[in-house]
Amino acid sequence: MHRFLRLSTLLIGLFAAVGSYAVDAPQPAPMTEDDLGPAIEQPIEFPHNRHAGLRNPNDPTNSDPLKGGMEIDCMYCHTYARRSAVAGIPPLQKCIGCHQSIASVRETPRIKKLFEYWDAKKAIPWKKVHDLPDFVRFSHERHIERFISQLNRPVQEVCGYCHGNVKEMTVARRSKSLAMGWCASCHQKDHPVTAEGGKPIGNQAYWYNFQKPAADTSGGAVKAQGPNDCWQCHK
C-alpha cells in the first residue's frame, strides 16, 4: 500500500515538474545514442585524455604527453565507484600531489589556477555533468561489482557503458541518454555471472534484485519482479 502511495506522490510531483517546464522553457530534445550532452563550462577544463588516455605506443617513455595519455586508472581518481552509490570527484590534494612536481605544465593558465585554489584552501567548484532527477535511485557499487569484480571486464570498458569514451575527452561530456528505457534495455539482458568454466555460478538470478519472473505454473500472479520493477529505481 505505501508503495502505491509513493508512486502517486511521484507521479503528482512529475506532473507539477513537467507543468512548470512547459511554461519556462522548451523541453530538451531527446538524446540519441551518439549525441554528446551539453558542454559544461568547468572552473578548470580537466583533460581526461591526458590523464586517462592510452599511452602513445611509439613513445613508451611518454615524453610527449600531448600525443598520448598516462593511462591512469579511472578508479584512482573516482575512488568511491566500487564501494558506494557515487563515484566521487577527486579532492584537490590528489591533483597537487602530482602537479607540484610536474614542471612542464606548472606555468600554464590552468595549472596556475589549480594552485590558486590550493593556496586559497578552496575546493574546486566542479559542475555536474551527469545528473539524474532526485526521484531516481542509482548506485555505482552494484554495477562495478557485477561488471568489474564478477565478470572481470576492464575498468574503462565498464565505465564506458554509461559514460562513453571518457579517456579521449578533453572535457567530460555526457554521451549516453540515461533515460529510463536506456537503463531498462540493459537490465533486460542477461549478465550471467560465470565461473571459470563459463557456467553461471549457482542458480542466481542474473539481475540481482531484478529477478526474472518465475514461470507461472499455478495460473496465479507472477510473484518475482521483472527488470522493470519500478521500486528498484524509484524510492
In the numeric block, the cell 530538451 is attached to 28
Q: How many C-beta atoms surround the C-beta of residue 182 within 10 A?
A: 13
**What is the C-alpha separation between 84 and 140, in angstroms, rounded?**
6
Q: Which is nearer to ligand HEC, 11 or 123 (CB)?
A: 11
Rule CB under 6 A: choose which of 9, 19, 38, 76 binds ligand HEC: 76
Alpha carbons within 13 angstroms on the beta-carbon side of residue 66 total 2
User: Strand, helix or coil at 113?
Assistant: helix
Distance of closest approach, residue 216 Cβ to ligand HEC, in angstroms:
19
Answer yes or no whether residue 143 interacts with ligand HEC by CB under 6 A. Answer: yes
Answer yes or no whether residue 228 interacts with ligand HEC by CB under 6 A. Answer: yes
Q: How many residues bind ligand HEC (CB under 6 A)?
A: 78
Rule CB under 6 A: choose which of 94, 106, 122, 223 binds ligand HEC: 94
Distance of closest approach, residue 81 Cβ to ligand HEC, in angstroms:
4
**What is the C-alpha separation between 42 and 61, in angstroms, rounded?**
31
Query: What dihedral do alpha carbons 11, 17, 19, 25 form, nearest 10°?
Result: -150
**What is the C-alpha separation between 52 and 68, in angstroms, rounded?**
9
Distance of closest approach, residue 215 Cβ to ligand HEC, in angstroms:
21
Please give the grid coordinates belonging to residue 194.
Answer: 560465470
Binding pattern for the stretch 22-41 against ligand HEC, x by CB under 6 A and - elsewhere: --------------------
Q: Which is nearer to ligand HEC, 36 or 136 (CB)?
A: 136
Residue 158's closest CA among 140, 168, 144? Answer: 144
Site residues for ligand HEC, 111-130, by CB under 6 A, read: 111, 114, 126, 128-130
Site residues for ligand HEC, 147-176, by CB under 6 A, read: 155-156, 158-159, 161-163, 166-167, 171-172
Q: Which is nearer to ligand HEC, 41 or 218 (CB)?
A: 41
Q: Which is nearer to ligand HEC, 103 or 217 (CB)?
A: 103
DSSP percent split of the chain into helix, strand, coil, nearest 5? 40, 0, 60
